[in-house]
Amino acid sequence: MSYELHPETPPGGLLLSERFKGRDLAPFYAGLKSRGRELGIVFNEHTVLSNSRLALLASEYARDQGRHDVFHENMFRAYLSRRQDIGRPEVVGAVAAESGLDEQEALAAAKDGRYAPRLAQAAKEGRLLGLTGIPLFIVNNQYQITGAQPLESFRRLLQSISQKEGI
């Protein structure tokens, strides 16, 4: 699901120092980088929280073109590894092209409103799930793991489920 975690973010983005006033984000980034090392993913620190709406709308276009997985992965890297502002059309277009999509078609589809109902539905579903962070992993429609958690968290959850269900 393409979920807009911070829909209140202005179109030009927001300084993280403003969004999280008074909070030290160093421990958050340390944990994120640690999780990334476990999986071979590079996470870099940000100073700006991007408005992700355009990227999410473009991801729905990518879904309809059968390119969602590669688009999602490339957008993830653009934002979290390369620290690009995924709210900027030129970044979204470049990621679309990198993902095997026509850049102009992807941007036009993201801007013309056809995918807005999907984002609205995802927001509704997210509220029903109590979604507070991303990524969100749901197992057996019952158990949740939110955020970039250590692999051990997943192992413990899966082991607990298998014991409960006698698997």
pLDDT by residue for the chain (167 residues), tens digit each? 688 888 899 999 999 889 889 999 888 888 888 888 887 888 888 889 999 999 999 999 999 999 999 999 999 999 989 999 999 999 999 999 999 999 999 999 999 999 999 999 999 988 888 888 877 888 888 888 887 788 888 899 999 998 887 76
Q: State which H helix or E strand residue 139 sits in.
A: strand 136-139
Q: For residue 73, what are the contacts with CB-CB under 8 A and spacing of at least 6? A: none
**Structural tokens at position 160:** 């607990």
Distance CA 45, CA 9 (A): 18
Q: Are 144 and 165 in contact (CB under 8 A)?
A: no
Tens-place pLDDT, residues 90-103: 999 999 999 999 99
The model carries a pTM of 0.83
Q: Are 147 and 32 in contact (CB under 8 A)?
A: no
Q: For residue 166, what are the contacts with CB-CB under 8 A and spacing of at least 6? A: none
Parse the chain into domains and list their residue ranges.
Answer: 14-126, 135-167
Of the CATH numbers 3.10.20.30, 3.40.30.10, 1.10.760.10, 3.10.580.10, which one belongs to the domain with range 14-126? 3.40.30.10
Whole-angstrom CA distances from 93 to 27, 80, 142 are 33, 17, 37
**Structural tokens at position 42:** 């590079």
